[in-house]
A = this chain, B = another copy of it.
Amino acid sequence: MQVTKTLDYAVRSLTYMGHQPIGKHSMKEISQEQHIPLSYLAKIMRRLVKKGLVRSSLGPDGGYTLRKSPNEINLRDIYEAIEGEIRMVECMDKDSICVLYDTCPQLPVWDKIQLSMVKILEDTTLADMLKERKNITMNQVN
């Protein structure tokens, strides 16, 4: 029931890129700025490319660019790109079989929690998170 480091890395990378949504950002740059192991970051970025969240280009001056603007990328997209489909319990999987499924008293609870979680993730965009950061910075200044 915890956010994995991998997801954290992905969110941090994308948030970082969100500061210059048009610009291109190399793995090296992201790795250094966000303190993420380069070779591990490589793996994560591949998923983000494959899922269509970022575009990549090779060669010198290559790197990554956001495919959509920060207010069009929500946390659910990122979550699912990294972790796959969201589900609180195994038995919510389509392929799973549980004899107790039909009368399971806990299922409604986990389902409720999952729904509220998905909603919050969906309602939160990269832009929101960038705003969040600015607010805090402003508070510090004042």
| A residues lining the B interface (CB < 8 Å) | 1-4, 8, 11-12, 15, 75, 83, 86-90, 102-103, 105-106, 108-110, 112-113, 116-117, 120-121, 124, 129-130, 132-133, 136-137, 140
Give chain B nearest CB distance to A61 CB in angstroms: 28
Q: Interface majority SS on A: helix, strand, loop or mixed? A: helix
Which 10 interchain pairs have the tightest Cβ spacing? A105-B129, A105-B133, A105-B132, A3-B89, A116-B116, A109-B124, A113-B120, A103-B136, A11-B106, A113-B117
Question: Number of copies of this chain in the oligomer?
Answer: 2
Across-interface contacts of A15 in B (CB, < 8 A): 105-106
- What are 8 residue pairs bridging A and B, where the CB atoms are less than 8 Å apart in the complex? A1-B88, A2-B87, A12-B106, A75-B109, A103-B136, A105-B130, A116-B120, A117-B117
Across-interface contacts of A120 in B (CB, < 8 A): 109, 112-113, 116
Across-interface contacts of A112 in B (CB, < 8 A): 120
Nearest CB in chain B to that of A99: its residue:
B35
Most interface-central of A75, A103, A106, A129 (chain B CB within 10 A): A106
Across-interface contacts of A110 in B (CB, < 8 A): 3
Give chain B nearest CB distance to A11 CB in angstroms: 5
**Pair A103/B133 contact, Cβ less than 8 Å:** yes
**Pair B12/A89 contact, Cβ less than 8 Å:** no
Across-interface contacts of A83 in B (CB, < 8 A): 1
